[in-house]
Amino acid sequence: MTLTLRPGTTDLAMLETLWRGGDAAVLDPAARDAIDHASALVKAAAEGDTPVYGVNTGFGKLASIRIAPEDTATLQRNLILSHCCGVGETLDTATTRLMMALKLLSLGRGASGVRWEVCAQIEALLAHKITPVIPAQGSVGASGDLAPLAHLGAVMIGAGEATVGGARMSGAEALAEAGLTPLTLGPKEGLALINGTQFSTACALAALFDAERLLRGALVTGSMSTDAIMGSTAPLRPEIHALRGQPGQIAVAAAMRELMEGSVIRESHRDGDTRVQDPYCIRCQPQVVGAAMDLMRFAGRTLEIEANAVTDNPLVTENGIISGGNFHAEPVAFAADQIALALAEIGAIAQRRVALMVDPALSHDLPPFLTPEPGLNSGLMIAEVTTAALMSENKHLANPCSTDSTPTSANQEDHVSMAAHGARRLGRMCDNLGVILGVEAICAAQGIEARAPLVTSPKLAAVLARLRDDIPALEQDRYLAPDLERAAQLIREDILAQAAGLEISA
């Protein structure tokens, strides 16, 4: 399938579809008039006598050097090649393709001054599944994601490296295999390709899409844990959350009430329970996970705007070609930091629920470490330790990146956003959180089954049955690593939330 991107109005749902499905993408043909108009203005400026940054001058600290019209193509090609300084592991294919689509959206606004042929070359790469090799390290998030985007531009001009069908080859070979011609860049076109926040934004969006599934998983596992330790549902009552008014908190409480409706385990201890209140990890789930949901929604709105933004420099307007600073990725850096906080806190409170369930002093008569024969068996003792390790790692990773500016480029670029590694670290945090929630699901399932003949709610029983399709109950100690990975996969792929019929969106 080929998705049509409408610059300025493409929403998160379409971007997630593109990221998950690997679809090709093209610009809405209605964008062409604005693109052609801006390109003509840049061409005229390149042929004129007035210095215009990046059109007939050098770049950055070298902006005072004039470039002759006959050297325009060389200038732009040199810019791409000299900026291909990325290092480290290669960005995954799905996020690379999302980055390319975001560059299309930005160029499609008609303020970058590139020819339509530049956009068509990106469309052709997507259509032929030519994926530029993008080293993930090297950007400080201003002036845009220079190094990563230069590696995209390199393939477009027949340089750099790409993968096609899993095979890695030179950019020239990749284009030739698809019958494509290397692009000769016109005035400002190299600059328009490497200026911009599309690498950082793509990485942040990919994490946001995963984080939304993880949050849904946390609602399911948190509800299961509440039933496993015979927790109270009174803290979920709507009047409590209405009095505070925080929308995420209200939504989380409502979802958990629905998930736990009809639990026989819950009804069995409404009367005569000597416990007055549950620990915060049970009682305050709406307040904590709801706050995380609100942060993610705010970050999502920021990233949706950024996905449709023009973030290169200079920009072509009706009032002329104007130098500005839209390439500074501070909004993306802030959004990434917010997502990191949400991920860390969802994991922190989930880990405490795991610790609660394996502790016989706190679990309300569940067997120690959730094994039927404690002593001979260690049960889920070390699975809980693993969650503690991952929780702590995520707390370290959640420290803000946006406050860590450093001057670059001979002090011309003296304040930068650090959005790139702020966004990249979110993928690792999502992986960690998936394991924490997967372990919680395993522990909660053991706990619920230990309450037999009492049974949980119909929705949670459906989740338990789906979990047991892949992961049998722990009767005796066994090699647990594959179980932990499979449980994490069930969370990451939204399978347990779907089994519960949970449709809430972050």
Q: Are 360 and 366 in contact (CB under 8 A)?
A: yes
Beta-carbon count within 10 A of 318 CB: 8
Q: Are 353 and 281 in contact (CB under 8 A)?
A: yes
With a threshold of 0.85, does the pTM exceed it? yes
Q: Which helix (H) or strand (E) holds 460?
A: helix 458-470
Residue with tokens 């019929």: 501
What is the reported pLDDT for 20? 97
The one catalytic residue in 53, 59, 327, 369 is: 53
From first to last of its 506 residues, the chain has per-residue pLDDT tens of 899 999 999 999 999 999 999 999 999 999 999 999 999 999 999 888 888 888 888 777 777 888 888 888 899 999 999 999 999 999 999 999 999 999 999 999 999 999 999 999 999 999 999 999 999 999 999 889 999 999 999 999 999 999 999 999 999 999 999 999 999 999 999 999 999 999 999 999 999 999 999 999 999 999 999 999 999 999 999 999 999 999 999 999 999 999 999 999 999 988 777 777 999 999 999 999 999 999 999 999 999 999 999 999 999 999 999 999 999 999 999 999 999 999 999 999 999 999 999 999 999 999 999 999 999 999 999 999 999 999 999 999 999 999 999 988 888 888 999 999 999 999 999 999 999 999 999 999 999 999 999 999 999 999 999 999 999 999 999 999 999 999 999 999 999 999 999 988 77
Beta-carbon count within 10 A of 329 CB: 34
| Alpha carbon distance 475, 399 (integer Å) | 40
Q: Are 448 and 460 in contact (CB under 8 A)?
A: yes
Beta-carbon count within 10 A of 414 CB: 12
What is the reported pLDDT for 59? 76
Residue 53 falls in the annotated catalytic set: yes
Distance of CA 305 to CAs 98, 195, 252, Å? Answer: 15, 17, 26
| Alpha carbon distance 112, 104 (integer Å) | 11
What is the reported pLDDT for 94? 98
What is the reported pLDDT for 270? 82
**Cross-strand partners of 413:** 408
Helix spans in 111-230 (H): 116-127, 146-156, 171-177, 189-194, 198-228
Residue with tokens 């930005």: 106
**What tokens does 286 get?**
């709406």
What is the reported pLDDT for 500? 98
Residue 209 identity (one-letter amino acid)? F
DSSP string computed for 230-273: T--SGGG-HHHHHHH--HHHHHHHHHHHHHHTT-HHHHHTSSS-
What is the reported pLDDT for 63? 76
Closest by CA to 207, choosing from 503, 492, 11, 498, is 492
Q: Are 18 and 98 in contact (CB under 8 A)?
A: yes
